[in-house]
Amino acid sequence: MPAEARAYLKSASFSDAEIAAVERGGVVSRIVPRKEDNDVFIVGVVRIAAPAEALVAAIQRIETLRNRLPIVQIGRFSTPPRVEDLDGLTFETKDLEALRTCRVGDCDLKVGSRAMEAARRVDWKASDAYAQASRVLKDLIVAQVTSYVRDGSSAMAVYNDNANPESTANEVAKIVESEPTPLGFGPDLLRQVLDFPKTALPNVESFVYWSKEKTRKTVVSVAHVSIETVPRETGAVCVVAMKHLYDSHYFLANMEFLTLLPDGADKPGFTLVHVLRARVDPPRSFRGMLLGKMREGMREAIATDLQTTRSRIEGESRRSQTETAAAHP
């Protein structure tokens, strides 16, 4: 394992035994203790015996990379975003019913006042009421993504489901500005994550996608992906930031940071460090118990995702090598 990965894991409370387990080929994920009870910090790590470029290419096709449980629906937004990009998204009946009864300060769905106002224009007695409500939500999502691509974080969600408005942009800033800094992320890229598109870097690729994930409640999310590759003598380091613009349940802010550290310029493997940082907002009843279950569920999900990703990337790499050898005997 690269020394900088080892040092980062030590700073994230990994033990020597856990680091040794990764070096033996294991997948390790752990919950990093935080002072605030709604601050989630989870780190997972695995070594992958394949070129890092293979995972970068898979992330660029995220609608195929993450088309597995717990994600049940996923798609990528066009440029510019279109409502047709959401044709594959269906909302849960419970969420549509929640939208019908939403009022500012009291809603079982994380939405803003604009969505609540739009819901009042739905004819809830009509036979196609749910179709109308779905179209309202899709139109609002597309409008938000369009505004975000043009104006940046000021267009991110402001939730009005509780007594006090909750700004996703403010909560994301708390994550990005907290310590420790994500492994391999320079200040310029972190600034772009916060201030996109004002500080867009020429060497950073980005796109926006949506997903629907099955948890205790089904969560519809919209996320902005930024990918940067930094050349080094020992091999290029790739870092990926996934900033959620919207989550329909549980989260005030949700971010993932992926770091791909090569074993060396002439070696095919790399270490993948996957960090999840979130600011959560579970129901007030049973808050402590739910927070614990949410953290453990997210930790397990990262471990499963790392294991599945390794199997897929290594398998694709082996098939590619076999095909290349067959074509050039």
Percent of the chain with pLDDT over 70: 96
Rounded Cα distance between 193 and 199, Å, is 9
**Which tens digit of pLDDT belongs to each residue from 62-82?**
999 998 889 999 999 999 999
Its CATH architecture, for the domain 3-327, is 2-Layer Sandwich (3.30)
Q: Which helix (H) or strand (E) holds 180?
A: none
Residue 285 has pLDDT above 80, yes or no: no
- For the stretch 229-262, pLDDT in tens is 988 887 789 999 999 999 999 999 999 999 999 9
Reported confidence tier of residue 160, pLDDT bands at 50, 70, 90: very high
Q: What does the pLDDT read at residue 327? A: 73
DSSP reduced 3-state for 252:
strand
Cα 109–chain centre separation:
19
Mean pLDDT of the 278-291 span: 72
- The pLDDT assigned to 150 comes to 94
Three-class secondary structure of residue 115 per DSSP? helix
Mean pLDDT of the chain: 91
Q: List CB contacts of 115: < 8 A, sequence separation 6 or more.
A: 99, 102, 136, 137, 140
The DSSP string of 56-102 is HHHHHTHHHHT-STTEEEEEE--SS--GGGGTT----HHHHHHHHH-
Give pLDDT, residue 287.
64
> Which pLDDT score, from 0 to 100, does residue 329 have?
67
pLDDT at 124 over 70: yes
78-107: average pLDDT? 95
The pLDDT score that the predictor gives to residue 302 is: 95
* pLDDT in the model for residue 216: 81
Residue at 304: amino acid letter: T
List the structure tokens of 18: 């856990």
Beta-carbon contacts of 20 under 8 Å, excluding residues fewer than 6 positions away, are none
- Do the beta carbons of residue 208 and residue 222 sit within 8 Å? yes
* Confidence grade of residue 319 (pLDDT, cut at 50, 70, 90): confident
Residue 7 pLDDT: 94
Residue with tokens 């091999």: 235
